[in-house]
Amino acid sequence: MSKLTLGSHPYLLGFEQLERLLERNAKSGNEGYPPFNIEQTSQYSYRITLAVAGFCEADLAITVEEKQLVIRGRQNDDAEGRLFLHRGIAARQFQRSFVLAEGVEVGEAIMENGLLHVDLTRAEPETVVQTVKIRKG
């Protein structure tokens, strides 16, 4: 018995790329740092908020790569010459990726009180009906 996959289902034509995307995201295993929220701010807009306490704007990079929003953070470790009795605030780097659907655009990014807000907008869907003529063969 063969395994039925999304890309091989007879009613789902052209979804092979979606299947590869799902497999890649399942393997990526984001560790949960930094924590984030995703909220819908209107019918066609969203906001991703990451808790990036200790990072400044220069420590963060936001890019869109192959329909993925990628947010990276890298702090400069200025601990040289300092003696910590306890170090509970880690200066570690991170990378968070979010897959963007077709038509989703990345808007502005705002840094506020240790939170990075990234606004996204989605184009309103167009209702398209196409009639296909049948010709005699």
pTM for the model stands at 0.72
Rounded Cα gap, residues 20 and 18, in angstroms: 5
What amino acid occupies position 43? Q
Q: What is the pLDDT of residues 25-77, one digit of tens each?
A: 666 555 688 999 999 999 999 999 999 988 999 999 999 998 899 999 998 77
Contact 97, 69 (CB under 8 A): yes
Confidence of residue 111 (pLDDT cuts 50, 70, 90): very high
Domains identified in the chain and CATH numbers: 1-29 (no CATH), 31-122 (2.60.40.790)
Q: What is the pLDDT of residues 70-95, one digit of tens each?
A: 999 998 777 678 888 998 876 789 99
Upper half-sphere CA count for residue 81 (Cβ side, 13 Å): 1
3-state secondary structure of 94: strand
What amino acid occupies position 73? G
